[in-house]
Amino acid sequence: MAVFTASDASAESGAALGPAYDRVRGATRALAAPLSAEDQCVQPMEDASPTKWHLAHTTWFFETFVLPLADTSYRPHDDRFAFLFNSYYESVGPRQPRPQRGMITRPSLDEVHAYRDRVDDTMRAMLRRPLSPELRARVVLGLEHEMQHQELLLTDALETLASNPTLPTYRAREATKETAAPALHWIERAEGLVEMGHAGAGFCFDNERPRHRAFVERFSFASRLVTNGEWLAFMNDGGYATPSLWLSDGWAAVRSNGWRAPHHWIDRQGAWHRFGLRGLRPVDVTSPVAHVSFYEADAYARWAKARLPTEAEWEIVATHARPPLENVLETGALEPRPLESNGDAAAVHQLFGDVWEWTSSPYVAYPRYRPLDGALGEYNAKFMCNQWVLRGASCFTPGASVRATYRNFFPPAARWQATGVRLAKWNLRT
Amino acid sequence: MAVFTASDASAESGAALGPAYDRVRGATRALAAPLSAEDQCVQPMEDASPTKWHLAHTTWFFETFVLPLADTSYRPHDDRFAFLFNSYYESVGPRQPRPQRGMITRPSLDEVHAYRDRVDDTMRAMLRRPLSPELRARVVLGLEHEMQHQELLLTDALETLASNPTLPTYRAREATKETAAPALHWIERAEGLVEMGHAGAGFCFDNERPRHRAFVERFSFASRLVTNGEWLAFMNDGGYATPSLWLSDGWAAVRSNGWRAPHHWIDRQGAWHRFGLRGLRPVDVTSPVAHVSFYEADAYARWAKARLPTEAEWEIVATHARPPLENVLETGALEPRPLESNGDAAAVHQLFGDVWEWTSSPYVAYPRYRPLDGALGEYNAKFMCNQWVLRGASCFTPGASVRATYRNFFPPAARWQATGVRLAKWNLRT
Amino acid sequence: MAVFTASDASAESGAALGPAYDRVRGATRALAAPLSAEDQCVQPMEDASPTKWHLAHTTWFFETFVLPLADTSYRPHDDRFAFLFNSYYESVGPRQPRPQRGMITRPSLDEVHAYRDRVDDTMRAMLRRPLSPELRARVVLGLEHEMQHQELLLTDALETLASNPTLPTYRAREATKETAAPALHWIERAEGLVEMGHAGAGFCFDNERPRHRAFVERFSFASRLVTNGEWLAFMNDGGYATPSLWLSDGWAAVRSNGWRAPHHWIDRQGAWHRFGLRGLRPVDVTSPVAHVSFYEADAYARWAKARLPTEAEWEIVATHARPPLENVLETGALEPRPLESNGDAAAVHQLFGDVWEWTSSPYVAYPRYRPLDGALGEYNAKFMCNQWVLRGASCFTPGASVRATYRNFFPPAARWQATGVRLAKWNLRT
Amino acid sequence: MAVFTASDASAESGAALGPAYDRVRGATRALAAPLSAEDQCVQPMEDASPTKWHLAHTTWFFETFVLPLADTSYRPHDDRFAFLFNSYYESVGPRQPRPQRGMITRPSLDEVHAYRDRVDDTMRAMLRRPLSPELRARVVLGLEHEMQHQELLLTDALETLASNPTLPTYRAREATKETAAPALHWIERAEGLVEMGHAGAGFCFDNERPRHRAFVERFSFASRLVTNGEWLAFMNDGGYATPSLWLSDGWAAVRSNGWRAPHHWIDRQGAWHRFGLRGLRPVDVTSPVAHVSFYEADAYARWAKARLPTEAEWEIVATHARPPLENVLETGALEPRPLESNGDAAAVHQLFGDVWEWTSSPYVAYPRYRPLDGALGEYNAKFMCNQWVLRGASCFTPGASVRATYRNFFPPAARWQATGVRLAKWNLRT
């Protein structure tokens, strides 16, 4: 799978964006390829969108926010698509209700492909011309936006396949070797006034800015992620049946949803299995746990006599660790993978790849935060309540999107993303 | 479009069923043909099923209730299909929840076609052999069942197309000539003890039996259906805003659903249009109103100082009128059509075709009713509450299904079928 | 407890209504007396109304439908009460939403008593004057209406007390003697064209008219009601876990409500108890089962290889049997009581008293039915859908309300009334 | 109304708690006195509890967490009350579901008074004996807990009275003089590392601890609260109809709830009125707006080109301002009052009293936060998600509860508390 790197997107000349554009757009199409037109059309739940909708929406994004800026005489490919493929931009106009995205059987997948081709042609022609800074910034935003949707496309497709009693496989499984999870170590950091938020010239979303100061207390940070095996211990210890471990809203979610294991875990004759894009198989105890909600992550941490890290803690560890990309979309693993047991025990592992890590930080604006102007101001700002920040990246995240300051966010009961758990503590010595 | 006639289905010899089988099965496939694989996969609401599900379920019906009876060693085409395509037979086993029928992206449409082909081959081989009476009856039941699903396939597909903001057309409209609705006449009938219910050798469902006596008072019966133009008069007179016209539950339905016109009526710049399988066009005032609920039919009748007929009244009129099939599925009209104004004013018109007619009769068992034995007893009996009987046939009903004793039934708020209104009165003279 | 007899209400002279008025009004107040002001204020569920609301609504009925007819200058006691205490008369004006009746903490119970006193004074003065036939009819309707609310007052109060985890008692239990339920006999009736509906000069509701003909097939009718002991046998045989016994909607109700026993049955350490106005005690196996829904009654009948009687069957049996009142409100039993085992085995027992009997007849209008004129036309007519007829009377029914033609009606899932089961069969010999 | 001061509760000797105990307990009873037994019994919505329940629950708190610690042989007044009056302590046992608190008609109000008297007698006897530090701390916690419920008792009672269409008054209105709201000034504060959280010996809840450092940027802080008049300007400018002003969840709340004005605002013939414990009257444009949700506060701030303060900002302003109590419970105002226009314009006004002030801070734990041990750990900790911090105090808050470090918290859509708006800005000069 082609890799799009951040440096491409931030290159100086307009023409330099052409190859990046092609790679990102091609990668999206490639990710959809194993799915049939029927798979790509349906909507398994309100949160998840059909694959075809992702293909069209990301195209609509260029058509709406980029092409008219480059050419005021630009006419949309189809006047009806603004209604069908606007996601949530109130400023742009009315739109198909989110729960009804699965009813868009027309345009057909072929017509959406033609829509992509047509817009791609226009975009490529535009990219051969000089670009104003604003236009260039919007092209980059469109590519970053599309990379975000690549991840959603996969997690939403997983939800679709999991909704089918026959549990179809997205891609056949490869042989995997057995490993043993290395022991979890605690990395300590001193207290201090730190800087956090994005700095420098590379791309970032508005919510990563401005860089600002925060005071952080001394803390300890787990060297690796919580594993499926550890999660089974939590389950076997009555984790899902012990209200004192849970936030009040979390306990209500356990009760009303009947949670007793992570999402996509299936009990087959008493043995826990896990369904993923590569099918159903027995739970691998050494892989990081995935598809758990914030409520579950928080309850697990309480059970483990630890806590979740704040996003400031996470960011300063990640910034200084300069960690490698470990298991992102381009590896093709499509599932969280166990940490190699011969890793450096003293190092921080699994920060970027495998699973997103729930933090203890509600998703709110940084001090002096300013959204983008105009309709694009709706991109992030209006979601700054009732959600929690996740940091890192998952096995579904394009490598080019990964950076230490990235702020992912989801509601506390969300489980359909590849979300996992890293522990922290205030201080081991006291 | 091929026509299957009832006489085929009731023919004496086993082999005689072969052509009927081919015609019915072929007709179902032909009805689905204008729809894409995506159209055929999605589920627009809980009541409506995907086209592909209809194709597979009708096949499963033969596989479950016919083939094992003919050959005890018969093995299902795919063991997973019993779960996916059982509709509501508790006796047969667990099944895909009804609201989740739209999630069956796999098997693909092609695989469902292969399923049909495979079962058809086995069925045809079986039909070349002598059939026991029970087996023969089940084949006929399977064909009648499939014809019922042909109608549902179309009304459900209409619901799917109507759920798409672009309002795709199933089949292009043909030119239609303008007509004027003839005046409505009242046909009078004397009181008396009558017989109703199915008699004779032809096929009927268990709920049409046994034939029994009922006392019917003197009544008057409308010569034709209520038209869209008359319905507009009801609307313009505040019909949807006058609680005294409505049953209490009907008024609650008006309020909670925001009803202000029949289903599939759309207000475009102040002009009422109607969406159908042949697209959107201005409401034709001379055509029969369709897609109204029992609640609306009942309120309209009260407004018109009339009432709905009982099913006994309807049946004795229809039995004696020996009316022709007027506008059923095989005409290809796909929409209710206006009555020709040069019709015989003294006759009863539009009894069979155009729209189903709500009666004032709740759907309950006839005296001494006995459901079929075994799982097939679930076919009709368990639905005998909270529904109302409709009589006649609609423009989506296969002609071979039409008979005067047929009892269709739907809940009082249902509007997605082609359901309309015929009026009755107790006595014009008093 | 004072007994109001129908002959009082139908007396010829206006003055003769005075004593009846006093008895009915006094009886309502007496029924509320064991309940505290708090008990009388709250609303345990949407279907049930607070006691205080019943006290006020029945008074509002006289104030709205009687007093202004007698004296056009009559001014309501309090202008706000029309909003608070109108039940469902759309023609009369807006009103407190039904689910919010429990929020009427003001007027206080004392104020409602004063309201009753004031209206009673005015009514009594009016009753001393000559009455027009229409006025007289409305007074009688008001009294019959209030008797209906006496029954609801008790069943709703039972619901309130049952909603309190401490299960308070309305009235202390009296010692009851043990009995054995006599064997159930089948009474046979021949087929024929019968007359049903109210005839004669006495009071009846509009829905009991007009008297009309119906054809009834030969049938058998159970000599007594189904007992708690027989219901336990149904439960122990898996009645609540066997879908084939249930209507489809009934099975859905079992599942969604978690029904596994009649309403007000409580499992205490493995032993079934029953809560009633006289408190909690072990289920009495020889008493008639009560507080079962139509769905349960229908399933029980299917399990017992019988069926529920039609309302025509019930009425012709009851009319010819001229049965005595057995266990109505005035006996003060407040609970269904076992049939004396020394009863005449060949007779039909328990028709009037103990429990209302679900019939297999949906609640619809009789042929040529005409509702009352004006707002009072809303009394019965607008509820003629989605409900089932019950016949007889319960231990909460005032004796003066009891008659063979009375049509009670409730939705099929309703369980908070004292509703039970009598069986019928088509024919024992075939 | 008696005033309980914090210094009482924190006095050194055990006996010194006696008068404080009497004052707090007496104050609760006095607050309930204007309400009838019926008023005190019902529950107007799930969030709000009946007055009687507050009276009993606060008593249960002493009976559960204090008396058994003082005397291990203590037996509860009534074994059933643990179920009825436990609020949310999972560790203590099962309990009446919150939405069913209004069904507790028994025990009667008199019985609850007797319960209070009995526990008060036992408590007073205990308080005459020496107290262990733990016991003393729990008595103080019980009193602080009861003061919290005094505020809830009033806001919940307001909800009850507002649910009655007759809008009963809790206490008659006093004449109020007209004022003009003084101009809003911006108080500036420099950036810096600050300390926040409770320090010293006085009482605080566990969530106010530990005192810790936070970095705060330079900011400006409004000298007074937003007024009703300013809110009307927001409304008249289309504030409730402009999605770009709202968080996404806030806009959804506006749509689904039909919000178009603050809670308890009623449109009477085109003029906005406000209902409060002192009845309905035209909106006073110079009083602080109250009963707005976080969503509305946030949207208003965006409209006003400002923002809500963080809780750190709020606390450091309040700590240094040493502001007086302005309009708390003991003033008996029972409504937010306008700021005197002759107030010192340069000062910060209305910090403690009138309305709680929404901050921009989600309610989460302070660094190194530790809940209380045992069941009391459920007091605050398990609610630390999906809520927002409010600071200050309202006209319903007992003066003795008021302190600069107090962290009140409610979900973002809550409107039934006296919640208002103070603005902040990052920096006026840039």
Q: Find the angle CA(B56)-CA(A275)-CA(A403) to the nearest 5 degrees.
A: 125
Position A393: which residue type? A
Write down the ipTM of this complex: 0.95
Which residue in A213, A217, A250 is closest to D367 by CB distance?
A: A217
Q: Which residues of B touch A163 (CB under 8 A)?
A: 100, 103
Distance CA C216, CA C195 (A): 10
| Whether the Cβ atoms of residue D422 and residue D223 lie closer than 8 Å to each other | no
Buried b (16+ CB within 10 A) or exposed e, A115-143: bbeebbebbeebbeeebeeebbebbbbbb
From residue B205, give the alpha-carbon distance in Å to each of B198, B377, B402, B403.
9, 11, 12, 11
Burial grade of D177 (CB within 10 A; 0-12, 13-18, 19 or more) = exposed
Radius of gyration of chain A (CA): 22
Residue A2 pLDDT > 60: no
Task: Identify any residues that bridge with A273 across adjacent strands, giving them in sequence order.
Answer: A266, A282
Reduced to 3 states, what is the DSSP secondary structure of residue B167? Answer: coil
* CA distance linking residue C134 with residue C140, whole number of Å: 10
Q: Give the span between the Cα atoms of C265 and C212, in whole angstroms.
A: 41
| Number of other residues whose CB lies within 10 A of the CB of residue B53 | 26
Mean model confidence pLDDT for chain A: 93
- Residue C310 carries which DSSP code? P
> Mutation test of the interface with chain A: which of D211, D215, D358, D388, choosing the one with the most A Cβ atoms within 10 A?
D215
Kindly list the distances between the CA atom of residue B401 and the CA atoms of A405, B9, C430, in Å, as whole numbers in the listed order.
67, 10, 33
**A117 Cα distance to chain centroid:** 26
- What pLDDT does residue A323 have? 66
Is the confidence at residue B376, as pLDDT, over 70? Answer: yes
pLDDT digits (tens, 9 = 90+) for A264-289: 999 999 999 999 999 999 999 999 99
Burial class (CB in 10 A: 0-12, 13-18, 19+), A344: exposed
Tens of pLDDT, residue by residue over A177-190, are: 767 888 999 999 99
Please provide the size of chain B in residues.
Answer: 430
Separation CA C150–CA C141 (nearest Å): 14
pLDDT at B132 over 70: yes
Comparing CA positions, the residue from B46, B141, B39, B155 lying closest to residue B101 is: B46
- Please identify which residue in the block is written with the tokens 């798409």: B164
Q: How far is B44 from chain A (nearest CA, A)?
A: 7
3-state secondary structure of B220: strand
Contacts of A228 by beta carbon, 8 Å cutoff, 6+ apart: A274, A283, A284, A285, A286, A287, A288, A289
pLDDT per residue of chain D (430 residues) written in tens, 0 to 9: 222 333 444 444 567 899 999 999 999 999 999 999 999 999 999 999 999 999 999 999 999 999 999 999 999 999 999 999 999 999 999 999 999 999 999 999 999 999 999 999 999 999 999 999 999 999 999 999 999 999 999 999 999 999 999 999 999 987 777 678 889 999 999 999 999 999 988 999 999 999 999 999 999 999 999 999 999 999 999 999 999 999 999 999 999 999 999 999 999 999 999 999 999 999 999 999 999 999 999 999 999 999 999 999 999 999 987 667 889 999 999 999 999 876 676 789 999 999 999 999 999 999 999 999 999 999 999 999 999 999 999 999 999 999 999 999 999 999 999 999 999 999 755 4
- B195 vs C: CB within 8 A: no
Nearest beta carbon to residue A38 from set B83, B84, B109: B109
Question: CA C336, CA C287: separation in Å to the nearest integer?
Answer: 6
Rounded Cα distance, A279 and B279, in Å: 42
Q: What is the distance between the alpha carbons of residues C96 and C85, in angstroms, rounded to a whole number? A: 7
Residue A144, pLDDT > 70, answer: yes
Least Cα distance to C152 among C9, C55, C287 occurs for: C55
Cβ D289 vs Cβ D421: under 8 Å: yes
What burial class does residue D178 get, using C-beta atoms within 10 Å of its C-beta: 0-12 exposed, 13-18 middle, 19+ buried?
exposed
- A vs C contact (3+ beta-carbon pairs below 8 A): no
What are the helix and strand counts (H, E) for chain D? 11, 12
Q: Tell me, yes or no, if C305 comes closer than 8 A to chain B by beta carbon.
A: no
Count Cα neighbours of C338 within 13 Å in the Cβ-side half-sphere: 20
A393 closest CA partner among A378, A379, A404 = A404
Q: C67 vs C10, C125, D261, CA distance in Å?
A: 19, 11, 41
Q: Do D105 and C44 touch (CB under 8 A)?
A: no
Query: Cα(C97)–Cα(C112) distance, rounded to whole angstroms?
Result: 19
Contact: D163, C39; criterion CB under 8 Å: no
Chains with ≥3 CB–CB distances under 8 Å to B: A, C
In whole angstroms, what is the distance from residue B392 CA to residue B401 CA? 10
User: Under an 8 A CB cutoff, do B248 and C88 touch?
Assistant: yes
State how far the Cα of C111 lies from the Cα of C40, in Å rounded to an integer.
13
**What is the C-alpha to C-alpha distance for residues A149 and A143, in angstroms, rounded to an integer?**
10
Q: Which residue of chain C comes nearest to B426, CA vs CA?
A: C368
Contacts 24+ apart (CB under 8 A), D339-343: D339/D179, D339/D181, D339/D182, D339/D224, D339/D225, D339/D286, D339/D288, D340/D179, D340/D182, D341/D179, D341/D180, D341/D181, D341/D182, D342/D182, D343/D182, D343/D224
Q: Are strands A279-282 and C419-420 parallel, antiparallel or unpaired?
A: unpaired
Contact D368 A248 (CB under 8 A): no
Distances (CA, A) of B409 to B49, B334, B359, C289: 17, 21, 10, 33
pLDDT in tens, B333-355: 999 999 887 667 678 999 999 99
A244 and D386 within 8 Å at the Cβ level: the answer is: no
Q: Does the pLDDT at position A9 exceed 60?
A: no
User: How far is residue A24's CA from residue C114's CA, in Å, rounded to a whole number?
Assistant: 79
Residue among A243, A368, A385 whose CB faces D249 most closely? A385
- Kindly determine whether residue C106 and residue D42, on different chains, have CB atoms separated by under 8 Å: no
Question: Contact, C379 vs C398, CB < 8 A?
Answer: no
Length of chain A (residues): 430
> At residue C261, what are phi and psi to the nearest 5 degrees?
-165, 170
* pLDDT mean by block of 10 residues, chain C; 430 residues: 36 75 98 98 98 98 97 96 96 95 98 98 96 96 98 98 97 80 92 96 96 97 97 98 98 98 97 98 96 98 98 95 83 93 78 97 97 94 97 97 96 98 82
The answer to whether residue B49 neighbours chain A at the CB level (below 8 Å) is no
D217 vs A contacts (CB less than 8 Å): 212-213, 367-368
Q: What is the pLDDT of residue A5?
A: 36
If you average pLDDT over residues A357-376, what whole number do you get?
96
CB contact under 8 Å between B108 and A42, yes or no, is no
pLDDT band at A174 (very low <50, low <70, confident <90, very high): confident
Bridge partners (DSSP) listed for residue B227: B288
Chain position carrying tokens 């499963």: B60
Which whole-number Å values give the CA distances from B112 to B85, B102, B141, B285, B339, in the listed order? 11, 14, 21, 41, 40
pTM, 2 dp: 0.95
Nearest to C387 by CA among B295, B385, B364: B385
